[in-house]
Chains A and B, each alone.
Chain A
Amino acid sequence: MTAKSVGIVVFPGSNCEYDVAAVLEAIGVKTQFIWHGQRDLEGVSGLILPGGFAHGDYLRPGAIARFSPVMSSVVEFANSGRPVLGICNGFQVLTEAGLLAGALQKNALLKFLCEEVELEVASARSSSTSLAETGQRLRLPINHFEGNYTCDADTLNELESNDQVVLRYVENPNGSMNSIAGICSKERNVVGMMPHPERACDDLLGSVDGLQIFKSFASNL
């Protein structure tokens, strides 16, 4: 392969794949869609699992998607240390697949949230935040019903002591433990976040802070 390319995994019910592709192409990164039913990742250098409602979110978000044929290749790819980013539903899929710790449960107060929120980069040591600065504020939209980050006490301690929390809400909108909006794997190459950076990459949309995430991701391909 000549130019490095990012694979965007498309499940039945994904709906943010074109937005993610448009942003990456705009910053000069080649993209290709990887259908959930295939096992071949076609030589891509990074993988993004976009937002949406994979398999209708039936049973639980991500519960059925994690058994899609592509997922065994995604797990192998992630374990090889290459960058993987799950956005919103993609984050839920990565937790169900065991690539990221914990789970996303229904928002506190059962509120569906669709708004722009302020986030703090809690760690710049991840494949999707490496060009940001720790402590930097980002404005990104959230759009979810199940974004309430939950895990057991030991896992939470481990995430905090390993510096695996990458994004925190400045004002916790959904009940997430420790205001967690995004985490990374121990190896720091797999990242999941509830906010949608792809919806904040153009002045017309009110914020370009999402570019930090995609430029970071692109720099680690």
Chain B
Amino acid sequence: MNGKSMRFQAKVQVWLRSGIADPEGNTVSEAINALGYPGIDDVRMGKIISMNVEADSKESAERRVSEIATSLLSNPVLENAEIQINEA
């Protein structure tokens, strides 16, 4: 192997696209209001999927995770995926 492989930790956050109704977020928002906390709005629910990645570079890890995020982890009709990658 030429390049030495490195380990990364990736986090993929999946959110409903803006404009798509988020009934879970709205329900949690109502519960927060019912508890009487002031100044809280725009509550949204999402998912976090974390994984370890072994790759030659951060860029190549990012490319791979981004492909996984759009093909499997999120449905682009409803959701956006945000990726964070850090060296493990």
Contact = CB atoms under 8 A, between A and B. Distances in A.
B65 to A, nearest CB: 15
Contacts of A110: 23-24, 27
A105 B78 CA distance: 8
Contacts, number: 33
Contacts of A102: 77
Interface string A177-211: 00000000000000000000000000000000000
A67 B72 contact: yes
B77 A152 contact: yes
A30 B78 CA distance: 38
B75 A151 contact: no
A151 B77 contact: yes
A175 interface: yes
Range of interface residues on A (Cβ < 8 Å): 20 to 34
Secondary structure of the B contact surface, majority rule: mixed
Interface string B1-30: 000000000000000100011011001000
A64 B75 CA distance: 11
Contacts of A59: 72-73
Interface in A64-97: 64, 67, 95-96
A152 B77 CA distance: 7
A103 B23 contact: no
Contacts of A15: none
Given A59-B73, A63-B72, A109 B23 contact: yes
B77 A106 contact: no
Contacts of A103: 75, 77-78
B30 to A, nearest CB: 11
A63 B24 contact: no
Contact of A63 (B20, B23, B27, B75): B75
Given A59-B72, A95-B77, A109-B23, 20 more contacts: A59-B73, A63-B72, A67-B72, A96-B75, A102-B77, A103-B78, A105-B20, A105-B21, A105-B78, A106-B23, A107-B23, A110-B23, A110-B24, A110-B27, A148-B21, A150-B20, A150-B77, A151-B77, A152-B77, A175-B21
